[in-house]
Amino acid sequence: MCESVRGCIQGFAKVILIIVNTIAHLSGIGLIGLGIFTMAKGKEYLPDVGISLTTPAVCLIILGALLFIISCFGCFGAITGRLSLLNVYLVLLGIIIVLEIAVLIYGFVNKGKVESTIKDAITDPFTNVNEKGTSALSIDRATVDTIQEKAECCGMDGPGFWTNAQFASQVPASCCKDSADDEELCDKDKAYQEGCLNSTEGLVKNALTIIIIVIVVIVLFQLICMAMAWCSRGDYESVDA
């Protein structure tokens, strides 16, 4: 009876390991694709706050590649019954979990730096456009317009930020949701009331929170995978002999 129960547990662990690593295999491909998409098209969908998307895109590609490779060991180890493959799978998964926990701790420790980083990144272009008006550098005007349109905000701290004489009682057209494409200015009473500093900080902080939650879920998921791989090892001990 005891051997039968043990066999059932090992068989169940094997099936779960195959299913989980098949999903992980496909997820790895998806992450690689997402990383490539972020690198190529990310700026078209996210507000430009002066922070490069190259680093997170590369991280996604590396994470996807690692997930793809590790899941191969787990899946083929479970299918073929090669104990050596499962041992490599356990070691690699353990290393990844340690690295993920380190990233998680680093994220918590440095979360407070997000506000200052964003403020430094958007202060110069907003200040230059407010001081120089239409004579400001085109790259600064483009940065301001992109942030205001994507984050649906106006000025650093609201429509009142725009004090340049050229604006008079108006604000840049990107402050207003319904402004026409050929308009340069729009009325303050039609502008978004939230400042871009708070808006972009909120977007980035929400993104960081989601990333932290995802990492925690992934770590728990990987710990379950390690438990399944360890439970199924006994079923394969004679295969590599």
For the cut 80, the answer to whether the pLDDT of residue 44 exceeds it is no
Nearest to 115 by CA among 34, 208, 182, 228: 208
Q: From CA 127, how far away is CA 73, in angstroms rounded?
A: 54
Give the pLDDT band (50/70/90) at residue 241.
very low
Q: What is the 8-class DSSP label of residue 191?
A: B
CB 230 within 8 A of CB 194: no
- pLDDT by residue (tens digit) across 114-170? 667 777 778 888 888 888 876 777 778 888 888 888 888 888 888 888 887 777 778
Mean pLDDT of 77-85: 79
Element (H, E) at 185: strand 185-187
Helices 196-233 and 138-151: crossing angle, nearest 10°?
70
- Is residue 60 within 8 A of residue 34, CB to CB? The reply is yes
In sign, the C-alpha dihedral spanning 218, 222, 228, 229 is positive
CA 110 to each of CA 62, 102, 104, 114, 173: distance values in angstroms, whole numbers, following the listed order: 22, 12, 10, 8, 35
Give 45-67 pLDDT, tens digit per residue.
555 555 566 777 888 888 888 88
Structural domains of the chain, with CATH: 2-112+208-236 (no CATH), 123-198 (1.10.1450)
User: What's the token pair of residue 241?
Assistant: 């002999």
**Residue 52: predicted pLDDT:** 62
